[in-house]
Amino acid sequence: MVRDSDATRARILDAAEAEFAAYGIAGARVDRIAENAPANKALIYKHFGSKDELFDTVFAQRVLAFVDKVDFDATDLPAYAGRGFDLYEANPTTLRLTTWYQLERPQGQLDAIMASNAAKLKAIKEAQDAGLLTSAYAPLELLTEVRALMMSWHLHTPELAMVRQPARARRREVVVESVRRLVQGDHR
């Protein structure tokens, strides 16, 4: 019987995504990933090296695919924030992976993530230089605030999550309007 290595790889990545989203890098177990894939544990190590390398693969593939889905337009950051909010709503696992990455890899050095960030910062700077975007904030400050607002409804404490949330449309509206007000500043 011929094995479909692409299908096996996809099952491993799906199982690993669920495992890492639930337990983080430190808490994830390759045994559980193998069981949930289903795949041989030795095969996982053969294809991905270590558990850390498996996480990097999952993170790079899944999170970068997510990032690529959110069209970035430095001259329309409110719409960008709305699209990001939509994808976080539809893909809560992506936010969990990102949170674990931030917690367990504070010195993150994934080339694809650094390139994506550099391109966004460059686009913001160019929009500022052209007078199309507020220069009240440095590009890094502005991108950081926009991303924080995109994720804001998904990152509060469990106690706050128990409070009756506004409808999804209202939460999205708050994100978009907050970013609009942020970037509406003087266009020096």
The confidence score (pLDDT) of residue 187 equals 46
Give the end of a domain, one of 32, 58, 84.
Answer: 58
- Owning domain of residue 115: 70-188
Give the Cα-Cα-Cα angle 142, 176, 185 (nearest 5 degrees).
45
* 154 neighbors 128 (Cβ within 8 angstroms): no
Is there a domain that residue 13 lies in? yes
* 37 neighbors 17 (Cβ within 8 angstroms): no
CA distance 53 to 27: 15
Q: What is the dihedral of CA 112, 117, 123, 129, to 10 degrees?
A: -140
Regarding whether 76 and 48 lie in a shared domain, the answer is no
Regarding whether 5 and 41 lie in a shared domain, the answer is yes
* 133 neighbors 188 (Cβ within 8 angstroms): no
The confidence score (pLDDT) of residue 12 equals 95
Counted domains in the chain: 2
Mean pLDDT by 10 residues, the chain (188 residues): 74 95 95 95 92 91 79 95 92 87 83 87 97 95 95 83 87 96 73
Regarding whether 85 and 53 lie in a shared domain, the answer is no
Give the end of a domain, one of 9, 34, 58.
Answer: 58
Regarding whether 29 and 102 lie in a shared domain, the answer is no
* 79 neighbors 176 (Cβ within 8 angstroms): yes
The confidence score (pLDDT) of residue 186 equals 52
Regarding whether 81 and 22 lie in a shared domain, the answer is no
The confidence score (pLDDT) of residue 44 equals 93
Regarding whether 168 and 113 lie in a shared domain, the answer is yes
The confidence score (pLDDT) of residue 55 equals 94
Q: Is residue 180 packed enough to be buried (19+ CB in 10 Å), middle (13-18) or exposed (0-12)?
A: middle
Token pair of 19 as six digits: 């495992």
pTM of the model: 0.83
